A and B are shown apart, each in its own frame.
Chain A
Amino acid sequence: MEAASQFCHERGLPFLEVRSLTKTYQVGGSTVRALRSVDFSAMQGDFVVINGPSGSGKTTFLNLISAIDRPSDGEVLIEGVSTNDLSDRQLARLRKERIGLIFQTFNLIPVLSASENTEYPLLLQKLPKTERVERVRSMLAEVGLEDLAHRRPNELSGGQRQRIAIARALITRPKLVLADEPTANLDSETGVQVMDLMRRLNQEHCVVFIVVTHDPAVTQYAQRQIRIHDGRLIEDDQP
């Protein structure tokens, strides 16, 4: 595992680069600055934990680097390509092929089973059925939910749902996985299991993991820890 992780860190150029990233919102008559000129970069295989109080700009930061929102100023570069230069369709393609997303509330599609939820991004990629079935089977085995493949989300526990969400995020073999409070709706024991899983997958697959959290227990998994306060990146503890 460590060898794989070591190999990941030997890459030269950053996978993700953020330059002077700024996001402002108009609320009523006033302007709220959610992010103020943030600079950041992540290398292949990084496991980054972002802390910060509520309203500090963590989720805004995550939304911008996951290409589901556009910055007011500055830019996000993924593999050297600025998301500012991409059309809506190209951003969708970037998310589909390069980025995996894990949500605080799991965001599974309620009418689909665990295996179908996992398969969904592959359907978007229009992969052949045989390949989809094989990858879903392998991914569910990796998150330890092979036996629950046919259950609907409402038949699964919180921890199991989050594992399915992780499987869904990783099924496309993305290079960047972004997780927003992945343990917030889990008990502490399940939270530890989920974080162990994410860390293991990070090391095995050389995937960049960026995790936004309030949970101090999550911080111990950080290879790098970042603190955001009042829209500013105020600390970057690199190993």
Chain B
Amino acid sequence: MTWWIPLRSLFRNRRRTLLSVAIIAFGTAISLFVFGFLEDSRLQIQATTVNEYGNLQIASSDLWEDTADGYDYLILPELEAEILALLAEHREITGVTSQLQFPGLIAAGRQTQVVRITAQIPSNKTLNIDDFVIDGRPLQSSDVAAVLMGRSLADRLGLGVDDVVTLTLTTVDGAYNATPLRIVGIYRFTAEQVELRSLFMPQAFAQVLLNTSGVDRIIVNLRSIADTDSATSSIQRQLDDAGLPLEVLTWYELSPFYQQLSGFFDILFGFLTLAVFILVFFIILQVLTLAFLERTREIGTIRALGATRGEVFSQLLVESVWLALFGSLTGVLLGFLMGTVFNAIGIEWRPPGTAEASILSVQINLMTVLPPFGVSIIATLLSAIFPAVQTSRLRVVDALRVE
């Protein structure tokens, strides 16, 4: 059958067709808007997580599973060199650094706070806290007894640049150690939890404090976040082949918060999709049933002229394809417009767990457009099947009798 006859038939009752298009468009637009918003939030959280963890981290399984006896999980310089040589083969890697993290207790006046010290190489720009320093200065390789503190913790303890705190820790040998530390800079990070818990210091000084030459993890940054899974499996395979007892974890495996939130967003979007599907399906079912019923005599004529049931069914289905396309495309345009206006307004919001407010925005790209577009198309087509089957199965003689 032709494509243009169903198109003409679709617009014979313009008011009804426009109503159908509006319903499909509304469902698509709302779905697109909410999905775009969730996707934008997910991307922001993704970026924050990667900023905090890097794309990949390589460490002993004992570290990840918390089964080490003391500092047994540390990667000593010989092993670190072996890993770095192995990573050098990967073109998708844009940066590699090592870190040494350990717990400690800081005291400032009468206040104490359990913290996590992250010791980094100041000259290495991979996953470097320098970009987040808002007061004072970044760390330098020559720094001794210097530390960067998060603004939230500094505010809580009433500290600022050049103030001194005392850090108490346990060395790799199990001995207690304590040292004064000067706050050389205050940093601001998107995740409030990081600001409250993490202090940063030069790696060389941290190794002296802990009495080790090792690090606890190698951090890898990738050219694209999309390379995460392929790079992980490739590096893990190489480590295994080399017989190194190490495990690669991805940024999303390292962040339970991201996984929970991502799962929650998926559920939210699932419910939204279901709601839009039900709305579009039942309303369009009603509209098309009525529209096809009104044309019973015409369908009878077409059948009398020699059209088979299949041909009548195809013609009615093509009508709904047009309807679905018009409605969904209008919905995409409407959703795009709503998103653009929303982004232009620039509403500020501070999500739970973040240190500062961010601008709410809606992502509108092919990946956010396709799911709502597809759902509306499928809902419309499915809603057309039942009335189209019913209408095409009418007995010709009965259909022709209908006034």
A residues contacting B by CB (< 8 A) are 63, 66, 68-69, 88-89, 92-93, 95-97, 101, 103, 107, 109-112, 116, 120-121, 123-125, 168
Contact = CB atoms under 8 A, between A and B. Distances in A.
Main secondary structure of the interface of B (DSSP, over half): helix
> Closest 7 interchain pairs by CB?
A96-B306, A111-B8, A68-B396, A69-B397, A107-B301, A95-B306, A92-B308
A121 B1 CA distance: 11
B9 interface: yes
Given A63-B397, A68-B400, A123-B2, A88 B309 contact: yes
A97 B298 contact: no
Given A107-B298, A111-B9, A111-B12, A124 B397 contact: no
B344 interface: no
Main secondary structure of the interface of A (DSSP, over half): helix
* Interface hub of B5, B11, B306, B307 (most chain A Cβ within 10 A): B306
A7 to B, nearest CB: 28
B54 to A, nearest CB: 62
B16 interface: no
B5 A95 contact: no
Contacts of A125: 306
Interface string B300-323: 011111111101000000000000
Contact of A92 (B9, B301, B307): B307
B305 A121 contact: yes
Contacts of B311: 124
B297 interface: yes
A109 B306 contact: no
A53 to B, nearest CB: 19
Contact of B303 (A92, A109, A112, A120): A92
Contacts of B400: 68, 103, 107
A109 B301 contact: yes
* Interface hub of A66, A92, A96 (most chain B Cβ within 10 A): A92
A93 B307 CA distance: 8
B308 A121 contact: no
A47 B142 CA distance: 113
B8 A92 contact: no
Interface of B: 1-2, 5, 8-9, 11-12, 297-298, 301-309, 311, 395-397, 400
Contacts of A63: 397
A68 B5 contact: no
Given A101-B304, A111-B11, 8 more contacts: A66-B304, A68-B400, A92-B307, A103-B400, A120-B302, A121-B306, A124-B311, A125-B306
A116 B309 CA distance: 21
Contact of A68 (B8, B9, B298, B397): B397
Contact of B298 (A89, A109, A124): A109
B163 to A, nearest CB: 82
A96 B302 CA distance: 10
11 contacts: A63-B397, A68-B303, A69-B396, A92-B306, A92-B307, A95-B305, A107-B301, A110-B298, A124-B305, A124-B306, A124-B307
A96 B307 CA distance: 7
Contacts of B12: 110-111
Contacts of B395: 69
A109 B308 CA distance: 17
Contacts of B304: 66, 68, 95, 101, 107
A123 B9 CA distance: 16
Contacts of B396: 68-69
A63 B303 CA distance: 13
A42 B149 CA distance: 105
B186 to A, nearest CB: 72
Contact of A93 (B1, B302, B303, B306): B306
Contacts of B308: 88-89, 92
A112 B8 contact: yes
Contacts of A89: 308
A125 B308 CA distance: 11
A230 B367 CA distance: 70
Nearest to B301: A107
Contacts of A168: 305
B101 to A, nearest CB: 72
Nearest to B397: A69
A226 to B, nearest CB: 21
B30 to A, nearest CB: 32
B397 A101 contact: no
A66 B302 CA distance: 14
A103 B400 CA distance: 10
B13 to A, nearest CB: 10
Contacts of B9: 111
Nearest to B306: A96
A156 B301 CA distance: 19
A21 B303 CA distance: 23
